[in-house]
Amino acid sequence: MSAPDAAGGGDGPSTGTATHCPYCALQCAMTLDPAPGDRVPVRVTGRDFPTNRGGLCKKGWTSAELLAIPDRLTTPLVRGEDGELQETSWETALDTLAARLQELRSEHGPDAVGVFGGGGLTNEKAYQLGKFARIALRTSRIDYNGRFCMSSAAAASTRAFGIDRGLPFPLTDLDTADTVMLLGSNVGDTMPPFVSHLQGARAAGGLLVVDPRRSSTARLTEDGGGLHVQPVPGSDLPLLLGLCHIVLAERLYDSEYVAARTTGLSTLRASVASWWPERVQQATGVPAPTLRALARRLAEGRSTYILTGRGVEQHADGTDTATAAINLALLLGLPGKPGSGYGTLTGQGNGQGGREHGQKADQLPGYRKITDPEARTHVASVWGVDADAIPGPGVPAVQLLQSAGTDAGVKALLVHGSNVVVSAPNAGAARAALARLDLLVVCDFVLSETARLADLVLPVLQWAEEEGTMTNLEGRVLRRRRALTAPEGARSELWIMAELARRLDAPGTWSLDPAEVFDELARASAGGLADYSGLSHVLLDEMSERGDAAFWPFPVGSTGTQRLFDDGFAHPDGRARLVAVRRAAHRRTAAGDELTLITGRLLEHYQSGAQTRRVAELNDARPRVVAQLHPVTAADRGLTDGGLVRVSNTRGTVDAVVGMSPDIRPDTIFLPFHFADAESANLLTSDAVDPISAMPEFKTAIVRIEPIRSPTRSPARGPGQA
């Protein structure tokens, strides 16, 4: 999407700073030029780059607004005896924090302190945060908000391929595809420049979109552009089992590929034998002829890709659903085949890099398992500690939050780059858990909804004020460059961690220089699945100047790895695993006047909305939560377009504006999750988790709705209140 009034379009020379957008994992390239005299400090122009080709979405074009927001934090805030946040000095804040952390550790043990990270942190900060938790705090209790985003896809890819990289091929490979199936992803709204890579498939009539809503992406299939399949929410797993059944029963699978490059066919065949099209039709609502047409188009495509997103992964059976999609791709011979493939679309800006280098509860840098003795020895040698000093695996995000303030749980929580009271499932329970803590510390550049609850708030740098690296959805390592000086009082999280590590007498070195931290990350990742050892800031800058790309793995002496599976998969025998999965235990479905809730994103907003709700142009376009309902559903309940509706279940209540649309199923309601307080969709979502990935069940909460006769707003309700 190009801005109509943007000068240059990103193709001409620029004297500004070449960097990347602060939002999603597409990491669109942009240039920041000084804007003296303007209200914002820099002017944004799109920069020609393979992922965005000079275009940006609304969020990218308005990203400079974030650098001039009036409520920017520049002074540490501490909660006073009167219960209010008040300004304090950095020295006092850090001295007090270090002393309090030491007290809690002495009284309750090191695991009394927890750390909650974010998928928007640079690689350097994500790496240092994992190191800080484990050797400065000596806690195992670290996880991050990527657990809510990519965990099921990552778990499925790891067990099938032996490695997890969102797209194991460059995004531009999609340009020549004649068939692309998108499952549970609305790229038309979440990452609009991505759509340019779908035009070949659309022109060939091969864009296949699986989504309960007729989203902006699904509408691209109209007028001969492809096929939109609109299943019952939560039925993606039986749909995929059915497609595998058809591919096997009709001998549409690539038998030579399957025999040469996979294992597990006989078990898979038995597991899908009972999922004939008519049974799948009953489970999904998708007609049997449509299922057959979908399978045949996938098999007949000259260049075919299957891509999954959060819509099929944010479920208590999300890992198995992503696995079923991988099984389908393997049967068709797509992964590692030139011009074809399987991938999953990372959401957060550094969702890929953020999970590679130590924020996850069970991982060390380089995608190493924290339980692997060799991995522990290697990383310990880089950190300058004994391997026994590194704690074992911690607990995933939902469990970490649920444990807050309990006898066996964390007593203190340090939050970096996340707004958990908006983004966590069952948000009322998450808020209550944070209230039980003895100490809540939040690092942010605004007073987010989570920061408002904190005992201590530490102001940090924004994207255009820092150096570092990000890893986008393709596994491409990118340079984030500083374009302006931070306001007085804001500090780098690298500095904060170094200062705390000194006060806590932590071993090892704690550099303030992002380039030096990256060099240490590279050494720590050497030999791991996500090997960055051949990279440095200097090399990345040189490669950028030449127009070269750096895809991991990038070991010393290599030129990187654009396509992961050309020569085999990451299991010892080089073969991918066909993993038999079966439909999970029956989840409760809507009955009577109940509806199934779907949550998702809007074009104008991002994640918890802490950033985009502060940008006037974006917030004015979408100022409050709108409940999308089918006109028939609304009429049956006496609702009018633009009226108010109360959406509720046993976990909470949300009041929203009614937005009627024929683009949604009559048995379904859609709420975006970017809004806060009484408008937070996650007040309604479940914190039941996938047993493999610990991904929460975000997508299929059962709710009731009723009209609100009075415009009076009601407060957010906590757990157990309907």
pLDDT exceeds cutoff 80 at 509: yes
| CA 440/CA 79 separation, integer angstroms | 10
Which region among 507-516, 584-593, 630-639, 677-686 has the lowest average model confidence (pLDDT)?
A: 584-593
Rounding to the nearest 10 degrees, give the CA dihedral for residues 308, 312, 318, 323.
Answer: -40
Amino acid at site 554: F
Q: Which of 563, 704, 495, 452 is nearest to 165 (CA)?
A: 563
Predicted pLDDT at 567: 93
Q: What is the mean pLDDT of residues 372-401?
A: 97
Which region among 35-44, 388-397, 678-687 has the lowest average model confidence (pLDDT)?
A: 35-44
Task: Work out the angle between the directed axes of helices 318-331 and 236-249 (0-180°, nearest 10).
Answer: 20
The pLDDT-based confidence of 54 (bands split at 50, 70, 90) is very high
What is the distance between the terminal CA atoms of the chain, rounded to a whole angstrom? 42
Percent of the chain with pLDDT over 90: 92
Give one DSSP letter per residue of 191-255, joined into a string: -GGGGGGGHHHHHTT-EEEE-SB--TTGGGGTTTTEEEE-PPTT-HHHHHHHHHHHHHHTT-S-H
Mean residue pLDDT across the chain = 94
| Structure tokens, 671 | 């709420």
pLDDT exceeds cutoff 70 at 587: yes
Q: Which of 239, 207, 234, 246 is nearest to 223 (CA)?
A: 207
Predicted pLDDT at 347: 83
pLDDT exceeds cutoff 70 at 710: no
Helix intervals (H) in 251-372: 255-261, 265-272, 277-284, 288-300, 310-313, 318-331, 351-354
Predicted pLDDT at 10: 33
Helix intervals (H) in 28-119: 58-61, 90-108
Predicted pLDDT at 37: 81
pLDDT exceeds cutoff 60 at 477: yes
The domain locations on the chain are 77-149+350-460+492-525, 151-344, 595-707
> Which segments of 58-196 are extended strands (E)?
77-79, 85-87, 113-117, 142-144, 179-183
| CA 322/CA 599 separation, integer angstroms | 19
Q: Which of 628, 622, 701 is nearest to 427 (CA)?
A: 701
| CA 582/CA 598 separation, integer angstroms | 23
Helix (H, G, I), strand (E, B) or coil at 672: strand
Give one DSSP letter per residue of 500-512, joined into a string: HHHHTT--S---S
The pLDDT-based confidence of 716 (bands split at 50, 70, 90) is very low
Predicted pLDDT at 614: 96
Domain topology for 77-149+350-460+492-525:
Rossmann fold (3.40.50)
Q: What is the mean pLDDT of residues 268-296?
A: 97
The pLDDT-based confidence of 7 (bands split at 50, 70, 90) is very low
| CA 665/CA 670 separation, integer angstroms | 10
| CA 309/CA 322 separation, integer angstroms | 9
Question: pLDDT tens-digit profile of 620-679?
Answer: 999 999 999 999 999 999 999 999 999 999 999 999 999 999 999 999 999 999 999 999
Is residue 589 classed exposed, middle or buried when 0-12, 13-18 and 19+ CB atoms within 10 A define those classes? middle
Domain 595-707 has CATH 2.40.40.20: yes
Q: Looking at the domain that runs over 151-344, which CATH code has it been given?
A: 3.40.228.10
pLDDT exceeds cutoff 90 at 523: yes
257, 570 contact by CB (below 8 A): no
Tell me how far the alpha carbon of residue 689 is from its chain's centroid: 16
The pLDDT-based confidence of 591 (bands split at 50, 70, 90) is confident
What is the H or E stretch that residue 620 is in? helix 616-621
